[in-house]
Amino acid sequence: MPLPPVGVGERLLAGHTRISTQALTAVAKAASAEIFSVAPSAVRVSWADDAGSLALSVSSPMSSPPLSTVRGNPERVQRSGGSVVTRATEAKARIQTRVQELTGSRLSRVDIRISGLQATERGRVA
């Protein structure tokens, strides 16, 4: 997606600035990984044309307290950011904002697929 010309003093520089799909993908993976607290290698992203705009699809695991911990202390769900659905819904806007900030590209939408949960702390061994 071309970016508007950048002013240098009072003169505008002519030409095109393009961000490759590979660069957009790397930024989207890194932003998503940060938001879901997982490794970027665990995140998959793809791009689609949405009536001339960019649509981002993200498939990623999400960090979570171990289920054994949550079972013993249900308040941990709220302290970890809420339910999986709540956190995924909030992640959509955060990913969209972060990718737009970093790339200058405008996204029409972000689709999220949670592919699993990754425990963030070890449970006790019985």
DSSP string, 46-105: EEEEETTEEEEEEEEEEEE--HHHHHH-THHHHHTTS-HHHHHHHHHHHHHHHHHHHH-P
Q: Which residue has the higher pLDDT, 48 or 7?
A: 48
Query: Distance between terminal CA atoms of the chain?
Result: 55
Q: Which residue has the higher pLDDT, 12 or 104?
A: 104
Class level of CATH domain 7-119: alpha beta
For the chain, which residues make up each domain, given as ranges? Answer: 7-119
Given a contact cutoff of 8 angstroms between Cβ atoms, the answer to whether 110 and 92 are in contact is yes
pTM for the whole thing?
A: 0.75
Q: Which burial class, exposed, middle or buried, applies to 43 when counting CB atoms under 10 A from its CB (0-12, 13-18, 19+)?
A: buried
Kindly indicate the confidence band of residue 77, based on its pLDDT and cuts at 50, 70 and 90: low
